Chain A
Amino acid sequence: MSVQEKFSAIRKGLLEFLILKIIASDKVYVADMLSRLSVTEFKTQEGTLYPLLSKLRREGLVEYEWQESDAGPPRKYYELTARGKSQLAELTAYWKDINATINQLGR
């Protein structure tokens, strides 16, 4: 089992957190998110992202608005809601705890 396979479940679990982070930094649409993720270990495809975004929206963490684009049809631009921002803060804090634990434990 390669390192990548060993961490595949963790990468999957972290995806929601990362999407919230990306959306927090700027108003983005799906192709933007994909292209930003594509250069990282968290390379993702539309098939995964759209259902995830729909779930986040149902949970009231993100919201979108339609914006005209100069090329082609209007796009959905996502942004964080107030709840999404507080959720992101919590997740970030928790992630820092995890990181600290990893650094402390063992060698």
Chain B
Amino acid sequence: MQKVITINLNGNAYQLEETAYGLLRTYLDGAELQLKGNPDVAEIISDLEQAVADKCNRVLGAQKTVVTTAEVKQIIDEMGPVEGTAAEPKSEKQERPRSDTTAPKRLYQIRDGAMLSGVCKGLAAYLGVDVTIVRIVFVVLAALTKGAFVIVYLVLMCVIPHATTSEERAAAHGQPFNAQELIDEAKRSYAGFTNSRQWRRHWRRQQREWRRYAPPTAWRFWGPPPIAPVGYAGQVFAGIMMPLLTVARTAAFWIWLCVLASLFSTNALFGWPIPDGIPFWAALLISLFAYCFVAWPLDAARRSSIWALGAPRYGWFSAWDGLLGLVLSALCLWLAWEFVPEVHDFLDNMPTVRANIQNLLRGL
């Protein structure tokens, strides 16, 4: 049992099943889209509607008042796809301003013409003000807060996605994206390439980039498929998660090191002696497995985040990621040196550690 929808085809009422209505709606909307720019689109659509109505009349009768889905399918098949005829250039020009639909405006980082990462440029595009004003505001704020505002910049740099595709660049400015604009843009930048040396340099850079984009094969096992499109929200989420994951990953590594140090220097895990049944090498193996068990999913998640943020800028992100890890490691070392007596013990007990290792080797 289906709901029936009454429609008006060129001035007459017809009753269609709900899904039949959906099909017909799709067909006519598609036709209208195909005929976009054609000055006679309204007339052609009404002609098509009339043709559909005639075909409906054929299947309807005194005892049959509703057109079924199968019948509408058949009718649409008979009508055939509507092909747009090339409209005159004049009418196309009239059409273009009308294609301005509301485009979503989004905050992106814009790399072209950026001084650092494009945060200011993206903000300027989003707010619709000159980029210089935004930069001055940032510098002034940084000066006023004695540099603390730089952290805000770093955080924004991490969290705000980069506008890499033309679509995203258009969204960063809140402009509608369509193919015509892409072509215009390409023409403009092509006209700028008059200098052949500049062109050669561009070409070499492009080739280097292509080579770099080829992802290392090992990634395929746990990373998402290369160049998986990620939405805006996903990119923001990845931007937030990436530093957190790096922190967790580095922490895991240092905790494991502490465990090792503790095992070697005291033959115990932070004061807990190894149970009798477990030999020393087994304890080491168990600690290794525990470490891998924690580190592996963290690594996978981190790689996915980097991918989500954009594979093309992989180099940038891994550099940033590595730097963060290094700073954290240095911080851990310093904290350990200052506050954890075991570290001092470890260094003091170096002879014991050597003995333990020698014992282990002799055991093997």
Do A and B belong to a common assembly? Answer: yes
Interface positions of A from 51 to 93, Cβ below 8 Å from B: 51-52, 54-55, 57-58, 72-73, 76
Cross-chain contact A51 with B54 (CB below 8 angstroms)? no
Q: Which of the candidate stretches A18-26, A41-49, A95-103 sits at the interface with the other chain?
A: A41-49
A44 CA to B57 CA, complexed, in Å: 21
Cross-chain contact B50 with A45 (CB below 8 angstroms)? no
Instruction: Enumerate chain A residues within 8 angstroms of B57, measured Cβ to Cβ.
Output: 72
Cross-chain contact A52 with B85 (CB below 8 angstroms)? yes
Smallest Cβ-Cβ distance to A57: which chain B residue: B40
Cross-chain contact A47 with B40 (CB below 8 angstroms)? no
Instruction: Enumerate chain A residues within 8 angstroms of B39, measured Cβ to Cβ.
Output: 58
Does B83 count as interface, using CB distance less than 8 angstroms? Answer: yes
Smallest Cβ-Cβ distance to A74: which chain B residue: B50
Q: Given that A46-B51, A58-B39, A72-B57 are contacting pairs, would A51 and B10 also be in contact in the complex, using a CB cutoff of 8 Å? A: no
Smallest Cβ-Cβ distance to B88: which chain A residue: A58
Does B80 count as interface, using CB distance less than 8 angstroms? Answer: yes
Cross-chain contact B48 with A46 (CB below 8 angstroms)? yes
A57 CA to B35 CA, complexed, in Å: 15
Instruction: Enumerate chain A residues within 8 angstroms of B48, measured Cβ to Cβ.
Output: 46-47, 50
Q: Which 3 A-B pairs have the closest CB atoms?
A: A45-B80, A47-B80, A47-B82
Instruction: Enumerate chain A residues within 8 angstroms of B248, measured Cβ to Cβ.
Output: none
Does B258 count as interface, using CB distance less than 8 angstroms? Answer: no
Instruction: Enumerate chain B residues within 8 angstroms of A48, measured Cβ to Cβ.
Output: 80-83
* Interface class of chain A by DSSP: helix
- How many residues from B make CB contacts under 8 Å with A? 26
Cross-chain contact A73 with B84 (CB below 8 angstroms)? no
Cross-chain contact B44 with A51 (CB below 8 angstroms)? yes
Interface positions of A from 1 to 54, Cβ below 8 Å from B: 30-31, 44-48, 50-52, 54
B328 to chain A, nearest CB (A): 64
Most buried by A among B11, B35, B51, B84: B51
Interface positions of B from 19 to 42, Cβ below 8 Å from A: 31, 35, 38-40
Smallest Cβ-Cβ distance to B81: which chain A residue: A47
Instruction: Enumerate chain A residues within 8 angstroms of B11, measured Cβ to Cβ.
Output: 73
Instruction: Enumerate chain A residues within 8 angstroms of B31, measured Cβ to Cβ.
Output: 47
List residues of B whose CB falls within 8 A of some A CB: 10-12, 31, 35, 38-40, 43-44, 47-48, 50-51, 53-54, 57, 78-85, 88
Cross-chain contact B38 with A54 (CB below 8 angstroms)? yes
15 contacts between A and B (CB under 8 A): A44-B80, A45-B79, A45-B81, A46-B51, A48-B83, A50-B44, A50-B82, A51-B38, A51-B44, A51-B85, A52-B85, A54-B43, A58-B39, A72-B54, A72-B57
Interface size class of chain A, counting residues whose CB lies under 8 Å from the partner chain:
10 to 19
B92 to chain A, nearest CB (A): 14
A29 to chain B, nearest CB (A): 11
Q: Given that A46-B80, A47-B31 are contacting pairs, would A58 and B40 also be in contact in the complex, using a CB cutoff of 8 Å? A: yes
Cross-chain contact B79 with A47 (CB below 8 angstroms)? yes
A54 CA to B40 CA, complexed, in Å: 7
A57 CA to B88 CA, complexed, in Å: 13
Q: Given that A72-B57, A73-B10, A73-B50 are contacting pairs, would A47 and B83 also be in contact in the complex, using a CB cutoff of 8 Å? A: yes
Most buried by A among B11, B44, B81: B44
Cross-chain contact B51 with A30 (CB below 8 angstroms)? yes
A99 CA to B43 CA, complexed, in Å: 37
Instruction: Enumerate chain A residues within 8 angstroms of B81, measured Cβ to Cβ.
Output: 45, 47-48
A65 CA to B188 CA, complexed, in Å: 48
Q: A50-B44, A73-B10 are in contact. List 19 more A-B contacts (CB 8 A).
A: A45-B78, A45-B80, A46-B48, A46-B51, A46-B79, A47-B80, A47-B83, A48-B82, A50-B47, A50-B48, A51-B38, A51-B85, A52-B85, A54-B38, A55-B85, A58-B88, A72-B54, A72-B57, A73-B50
Instruction: Enumerate chain A residues within 8 angstroms of B44, measured Cβ to Cβ.
Output: 50-51, 54
A73 CA to B82 CA, complexed, in Å: 23
A43 CA to B86 CA, complexed, in Å: 22
A71 CA to B168 CA, complexed, in Å: 55
